[in-house]
Chain A
């Protein structure tokens, strides 16, 4: 029936009001079916209770703590670039192909929560893959350990090329705060919240399990905010303004596979609001999942009897592609298909088609053959194939159902596909029978058994029929009417049956020399029940005919043209990222086509050519100071080239000045060849030299004994200069007339003890000094000054010095002789002199002391000789 093309929107609105339809599934979270199990234990819905459960969950499931080195190793898995050619740089999202290192243009490992602001180095939190992100080295360094926060009029922060030039904009910063781009703020917020939840002291977050390397953490340590609440608010704002994207989802799955835990704020971004906010945030629905590139149906061909059912299963490629399909059948009067379940309606052939809901060009088909059933005047039949069995629990004792009849059997499906091996009746004691437990609608007329292969044609089977059910037995049936044994064939071996039995059993007559019996099918024909028409099959279920109506920018409504029972909101389907038209509803979308556009003299913008939306702004980028064309937007600037010249500045200096703009680079003093040179060798400055002037001196006697004042009449000379006399006797200065007193010296030799001096009797001026002079050793009176010396005391003094000194024995003997000889020459009077007597006495004492030493030496030598030679 056709209800006409009503607006699906109106239908949707009505359905919503009636509460009969839910839109888009049951939840707005982004988890996959597998990840949903991960959070199955989270029962809290808000605050610290929720936070504590999340803490215990992500700590408890963190089974593999990666090393800091492994952060580099796993980067290709966790951070593949969007174009698949390298690694995704965290802040700029550019593709990096240069690997990890410490130079410009090369990747580094960014601690989103800096080490210095946390409780870690390069382990535990410091090497958690959910935390560490690949970042260009220079941009990483520029961010340093700045806190995250909002920055107004901040300095653009760029990644670098390997040559050190600016590459891509990664954020803005001031001296203390770093602000990532809008499309990274959410990423940062969710990483910060993960680290806070995981590595905080358990009691601080309501948890019970202590994390490795845990310590007290507050958001204000990494977020620039006036308070902890303000920091939480900023994180919530960033989390909501930049929703989870495919980069984060892909990353979350990759890290989960490595570490064993997940970032709950990526899977459930609403948790942030539930824990630290008012809990009202509902994140947007995730985008479509991976569309398959191909589909296949199993089985691809089905033979059924009227009234029978069968199931088709969908396989999608690649493995992570969506298996969601729309079923259709043609013609529609042979079989119906509902969510993969076939119901045979009438004899004939039909083609069942499964179309991917994400890509309508991807389809798979299966061929269905329906045979008529026979009974009474019209025979009914059903065929038992491997698909008739309930094989959900592996092989062994099974139930089967075909044509409305049920039964039991003990079969093996083989280790692979059941359909490839058919029904395998193995040689274990109970595994070689098949029997019915419900009655056919009429007496059984024939049973046909087909072997799976020609090699199976030496297997014998026996048919039994009965009027009562064989029951769910595990042993080989033996009761009933025995219709004999036959070898089965690939064409089918048939038992003709008469009578009114409505139950049957087939048993494999196993022989030790033969192996399993593989059957392709068992077909049972039975007569229609007496006195009535065969029971008609149920009417085919309604087959929706889908229609699509553009609904929102992201979704369209899907309804059925012929009924009102189906109404779903589904995302638009596009063939590619550049496809602008939905394949199903024709919705036209705008795909931004960004290009760099010159904005002004200082900047250019990343602007969509179509809608004019500006995504980001950055400064022009030039290769060097002489480059006039921006490398990105071709903005042309004017580059002034200085032309410097030396220019006379003033009397003392010249400057290095640009002729064009007047900029002065440096200043120097004028340079002249010599004192007579008047022209500067550098700038040509002309100087005035002082003129030669002949002084007219005047001398002033100011009664100074030694000098007079000398001045020039011109006033440019004034100095003190010594008096000038013609000679030593001249008493008047030749210049100023000063009169001096001239003294005539009268020098005499004067005894001054150890020496004498030539001294002026009048003024005491000493002209010279010298030692006393004697005629000979006996002379006691100095020839010059009359100094009287003591006789020969020195010789004794010297002798004593020698005797007690370090000289040899012969030297000492010589000085003793000298002293003795000198003493012998003295007169009695001289000998009586006190000094002579004193020194001579010392001399004698010294000699005696020496003699004592000599005696000791003799005694020592004698003793030695006596020891060795026993000499007396």
Chain B
């Protein structure tokens, strides 16, 4: 039986090589990453990307919205909510404040009009890397992908302290929407919702 299995395996391996065009390496045939095409789309050029980030902690929620417009330069229009601390002797009329502004990235430099929201030259790039190995419980469809992210920091740079991260993606020949959720180190629940315009 063992010989038979080995023989069958050899046949399958050879067939795979023929079908996929893989070259046989000393370690064995190379298999294509299932997420390779997603990663390609993640690094494609879009005309516009809209991003809404919702951060919820306890009973309270803050929202930030970013609109990326790609042309000769990249413009990022944004609104970022913040809460104000309360003075018990003289509490303010409102608890929230909103920062608004537009950042223009060109030639590696950032020009800001309005309130500063900390935009950098890297802000224009999508921070995601799609690799099959970064996910588990993945569902691959012809135009959708959803999975639990088992390596958050590999998938989203800097997200090492995030837990229960999940990604849900819709696409055609390019991304149409992407939603990433996670729980943060402070106990917050974050949801980042992208809308792509090719």
Residues of A at the B interface (CB closer than 8 Å) are 806, 808-810, 813, 816-817, 819-820, 823-824, 843-844, 847-848, 850-851, 853-872
Contacts and interface: CB of A to CB of B under 8 A. Distances in A.
A839 to B, nearest CB: 12
Interface size class, chain B? 35 or more
Contacts of A823: 89
Contact of B123 (A847, A857, A871): A871
A820 B64 contact: no
Contacts of A867: 127, 156-159, 162, 192
A374 to B, nearest CB: 107
A809 B184 contact: no
A644 B42 CA distance: 106
Contacts of A847: 86, 88, 91
B81 interface: yes
B62 A858 contact: yes
Contacts of B122: 870
11 contacts: A820-B88, A820-B89, A824-B89, A850-B86, A851-B86, A854-B85, A860-B186, A860-B190, A864-B55, A868-B127, A869-B66
B118 interface: yes
Contact of B192 (A816, A824, A843, A868): A868
A31 B95 CA distance: 123
A545 B67 CA distance: 147
A652 B149 CA distance: 93
Contacts of A851: 85-86
Contact of B90 (A820, A858, A871): A820
A861 B55 contact: yes
A815 to B, nearest CB: 10
Nearest to A872: B118
B32 interface: no
B138 to A, nearest CB: 21
B158 A866 contact: yes
B31 interface: no
A586 to B, nearest CB: 103
A861 B81 contact: yes
A871 B60 contact: no
Nearest to A863: B184
Contact of A853 (B57, B89, B91, B123): B57
Contact of A857 (B60, B64, B90, B159): B60
Nearest to B161: A863
B69 to A, nearest CB: 14
B47 interface: no
A428 B59 CA distance: 125
B118 A856 contact: no
A824 B88 CA distance: 11
Contacts of A866: 118, 158
Interface in B135-158: 156-158
B83 interface: yes
A805 to B, nearest CB: 10
Given A863-B184, A867-B159, A820 B91 contact: yes
Among B88, B94, B125, B188, find the residue whose CB has the most chain A CB atoms closer than 10 A: B88
Contacts of A850: 86
B41 interface: no
Interface string B78-115: 10111111101111001110000000000000000000
Contacts of A870: 120, 122-123, 125, 127
B127 A813 contact: no
Contacts of B76: 869
A865 B117 contact: yes
A489 B118 CA distance: 149
Given A816-B88, A865-B117, A870-B123, A857 B62 contact: yes
Contact of A859 (B88, B180, B186): B186
B59 A861 contact: no
A826 to B, nearest CB: 12
B55 A813 contact: no
B119 interface: yes
Contacts of A865: 53, 64, 80, 117-118
A580 B57 CA distance: 123
Contacts of B81: 861
A226 B168 CA distance: 94
Interface in B41-76: 51, 53, 55, 57-60, 62, 64, 66, 76
A861 B66 CA distance: 13
A872 B120 contact: yes
Contacts of B60: 809, 853-854, 857
Contacts of B86: 813, 816, 847, 850-851, 854
Nearest to B188: A860
A259 B176 CA distance: 90
A871 B119 contact: yes
Contacts of A843: 88
Nearest to A814: B91
Contacts of B123: 869-871
Given A808-B59, A856-B57, A869-B66, A813 B91 contact: yes
A857 B85 contact: no
A813 B95 CA distance: 8
Contacts of B66: 868-869
A508 to B, nearest CB: 85
Nearest to A870: B122
Given A859-B186, A863-B186, 9 more contacts: A809-B83, A813-B91, A847-B86, A857-B58, A860-B57, A860-B186, A867-B156, A869-B66, A871-B123
Given A813-B95, A865-B64, A867-B158, A860 B88 contact: no
A858 B83 contact: yes
Contacts of A864: 53, 55, 64, 184, 188, 190, 192
A856 B82 CA distance: 11
A847 B184 CA distance: 24
A854 B92 CA distance: 14
Given A806-B59, A867-B159, A869-B119, A857 B192 contact: no
B91 A816 contact: yes
B59 A868 contact: no
B110 to A, nearest CB: 10
B59 A860 contact: no
A810 B53 contact: no
Nearest to B159: A867
A389 B111 CA distance: 147
A861 B192 CA distance: 11
Contact of A871 (B82, B118, B157, B180): B118
Contacts of B94: 813
Among B60, B94, B157, B192, find the residue whose CB has the most chain A CB atoms closer than 10 A: B60
Nearest to A816: B91
A872 B122 CA distance: 10
B91 A857 contact: no
B114 to A, nearest CB: 14
A855 B85 contact: yes
B166 to A, nearest CB: 15
A858 B56 CA distance: 10
B88 A857 contact: no
A550 B47 CA distance: 140
A319 B123 CA distance: 121
A478 to B, nearest CB: 89
A809 B86 CA distance: 11
A865 B116 CA distance: 13
Among A824, A859, A869, find the residue whose CB has the most chain B CB atoms closer than 10 A: A869
A177 B53 CA distance: 97
Contacts of A848: 88
A789 B180 CA distance: 56
A870 B51 CA distance: 13
B77 to A, nearest CB: 12
Nearest to A824: B89
Nearest to A818: B91
A866 B76 CA distance: 14
A857 B94 CA distance: 16
Given A868-B51, A869-B119, A857 B83 contact: yes
Contacts of B162: 867
Contacts of A871: 117-120, 123
